[in-house]
Structure 1
Amino acid sequence: MKRMSFVDAIYFTTITITSTLQIGDSVEILPITRALAVQKVFPTYNTKVPLPKYRIFSEDIPQPVINEPVQTTFINENPVTRVKSISGQSVSTSSLLHVGNTSVIRAESRIKHIREVLEE
């Protein structure tokens, strides 16, 4: 029997930038964010910079290799999880607040920060 999750209340101010509030079961959750943050002394708003120009957006992300056999046994005498409330400020940038069961979560966030300053 699968586990059931019950939450009386969830309080969050902001859920943003490919983040997820998932209530219920899912099979796969794949949030991805690719962002370029440019801070300039004198802003120009019509400049477009292609993301592939920066290596951070094209590099492979190393994945852990698990080659150990794992044997598990679960006995859910009471397959119910009960929570009165969950609260927080925000869920942001490819993160997840999930109440329920899932098989795969693969989150990725790549952010390149550029700061242009005046040299004295």
Structure 2
Amino acid sequence: MNILSVDSSGTVQIGDSNQITPETKIFAIQREQPIFKGNEYEDLSSFSLYSQSLPTPLLTEAINHVTVHENPVIKVNSIQVLGVAASGVVHVGSTRTIQAESRVKNIREFFTDPNEGNE
């Protein structure tokens, strides 16, 4: 297995697991000029994105599943992964539950109107 990068709550799990619950909260400010005070939005609770509950899908139908392991070994030549980030999971094995959450807020601040002169 060749993985180039794992970042921002990304998970690589080799082997069986019971539960994987990666969580990421990302806040990004892009400014026309790189002027930062150092205390930009220290308290993310002012953004409802980070405190809203996530809807849980309702399973309304039964799922029938039958697995037959005629050969208990899975073989592959190679696995190539460029990157795992923002609560992504690369998992080789079995798991009971994976519940991943990623919340991203991007803000762009301009000192001049970006649409000016495009009319």
What is the TM-score normalised by the length of structure 2?
0.86
Q: Could you tell me how far apart the structure 2 residues matched to 1:13 and 1:69 are?
A: 39
Q: Could you tell me how far apart the structure 2 residues matched to 1:45 and 1:26 are?
A: 43
Report matched runs for 1:1-120 at 5 Å. 10-40=1-31, 41-49=33-41, 50-120=43-113
CA-based RMSD: 1.3
Q: Which whole-Å deviations, capped at 9, do the CAs of 1:44-77 have from their partners, x for residues lacking one?
A: 1412411111011011111110021223222111
Gaps of 5+ in 1: 1-9
| Number of residue pairs the alignment of both structures matches | 111
The percent of aligned pairs where both chains have the same amino acid is 34
Query: What SS does structure 2 have at the residue aligned with 1:84?
Result: coil
Q: Could you tell me how far apart the structure 2 residues matched to 1:27 and 1:45 are?
A: 43
1:42 CA drift (Å) = 3.5
Q: Could you tell me how far apart the structure 1 residues matched to 2:76 and 2:27 are?
A: 38
Q: Could you tell me how far apart the structure 1 residues matched to 2:83 and 2:16 are?
A: 22
Q: Which whole-Å deviations, capped at 9, do the CAs of 1:85-116 have from their partners, x for residues lacking one?
A: 10121111100110000010000000100111
Gaps of 5+ in 2: 114-119
Q: Could you tell me how far apart the structure 2 residues matched to 1:68 and 1:16 are?
A: 36
1:13 CA drift (Å) = 1.2
Greater fraction strand: 1
Query: Which stretch has the larger CA shift, 104-113 or 42-51?
Result: 42-51
